[in-house]
Homo-oligomer: A and B are copies of this chain.
C-alpha cells in the first residue's frame, strides 16, 4: 500500500533539533588548544553560511527554492505499508517503510549533498573535497556538484574503490574526480602508504586526506556526509514527509527505526518524530540500529574524540569506539564509522532514544526476506533497520499486540550485490 504526497508537500523548512534539546550538546574543541571551537575554527573547512546553519538556534530553516527544485527530481519519496512482509511474519503489527532508495544516487544522501553544494556555490566556492567509504556519499556529492557546476574530488577508501567499481563509475559519470585513499596526493596519504604500503584505507584516513586537500587548495571547501548538525538537519525532510504520510495512512508509529553509522539517516527519520514527542505529547519510540562490529552507541564510550584518524578535526563529544578503531570489513560500509553524531549521542545519553546492534547474518536474512516479499533489494545498511523492524513485529506477535512500526529504507542494494553473493554462498563473516 502506497501513501504518496504531491510535490507541494516537499517540506519547505528543515527541522533543527538543536534549540529543542533538553540539554545542549557539549561544544566542539579545537584539536590544537582543546578549547571550545568557535565558528572561525571551522572556516577553513566550511563556508560561513553552512557554519551558521551548524550552530543555528532557529528551529526551522527555510529550504532554498533551488534546493527544493532539485529535491523535486525524486521527492517526495514514497511511504508504503509492507503488507506482504506482515503476512509472511503472521504478525498483527503494521509495518511501514519510507523509501529513500528512489533518489538518483540510490540513498538518502543527496538530501544533504544538494543542500551543501547549493550553499557552497552561494559562498563562491569552486571545488568540494570529500571522502567516501562504500560510495553512497561520494556519489551523492558528485551528483549535487554536477547540478550546481562545482568541481568535486572524492577520496574513496581504497578497498571500496576496487570492490565497488560501480559506485566509483557513478561519480565519474556525474563528473567527479575519484582517488583511491590512501593516495600520494596528500602528505598524510603518503605517510600512510610509507608505513603500510598495502593499506586498504579507512574512512578516518580518507577524511584526513579530504581535509588536507581542502586546506591546501584555494577555492576548495570540505563536505561531510553525516555526523554534523547541518547534515542531520538536511535529512529531516524524510521524517517530515513520513509524518504527513502516516497521517494519510491514518496511523501513528509506535516505533520509528533507522540504521545509524554517522547518524544522518537515523536523524532524518527520527528527529521530526522526537519533536512530536516533545511538543505534541506523542509517545513514539525511536530505535537506532547499528552493526555488532561497529557498535558505537551500544558499546562505545560517551566522550570527546576526533572525527578522523589524523586528529585534524575538532573533537566532539560523542559515543565512540576510539578514532583509531578500524571496524572489520563488513558489507554495510556506510555504517563503518568509529563515532556517532553528537546530537544522537546526546539523545542516547539522555535515554530519549534506544539503540540495538545486529551481526551481519541475521541482517542479510532479513534483507532477503524483505526482497522476497516486498520485492525491493535493500542496501546492507538499510537492512539493519529491516532486521529490527522484523524483530519488533515478531515481538508484537508474541505479545499478541498491535504495533505500528515505521522504518527508513535508506537505500537500495543494486550496488551491493556482491555482498548478497557472499551471504548466499555462506561466505559472510559471522560478526
Task: Give A contacts to B, CB under 8 Å.
Answer: 1-2, 4, 6-7, 70, 72-74, 80, 84, 102, 104, 106, 110, 143, 146-147, 165-166, 169-170, 172-175, 368, 371-372, 374-377, 412, 414-415, 417-418, 420-421, 424
Contact = CB atoms under 8 A, between A and B. Distances in A.
14 contacts: A2-B7, A4-B4, A4-B7, A73-B375, A73-B376, A104-B374, A104-B376, A106-B414, A110-B375, A146-B371, A165-B417, A166-B415, A172-B420, A173-B368
The secondary-structure label for the interface of chain A is helix
A97 to B, nearest CB: 11
Contact of A73 (B72, B173, B374, B421): B374
A275 to B, nearest CB: 27
A420 B142 CA distance: 15
A418 B74 CA distance: 24
A376 B418 CA distance: 23
B172 A424 contact: yes
A358 to B, nearest CB: 19
B174 A372 contact: yes
B4 A147 contact: no
A417 B169 contact: yes
Contact of A146 (B80, B172, B173, B372): B372
A39 to B, nearest CB: 32
Number of copies: 2
A110 B376 CA distance: 12
Contacts of A375: 70, 73-74, 104, 110, 143, 147
Nearest to A114: B375
Name, among A6, A104, A414, the residue most crowded by chain B CB atoms within 10 Å (CB to CB): A414
Contact of A169 (B106, B170, B372, B418): B418
Contacts of A172: 420-421, 424
B169 A421 contact: yes
A379 to B, nearest CB: 12
B104 A102 contact: no
Contact of A72 (B1, B74, B165): B1
A377 B4 contact: no
Contacts of A104: 371, 374-377
A74 B78 CA distance: 9
A403 B376 CA distance: 37
Given A110-B375, A412-B414, 6 more contacts: A73-B374, A104-B375, A170-B414, A170-B417, A172-B424, A174-B372
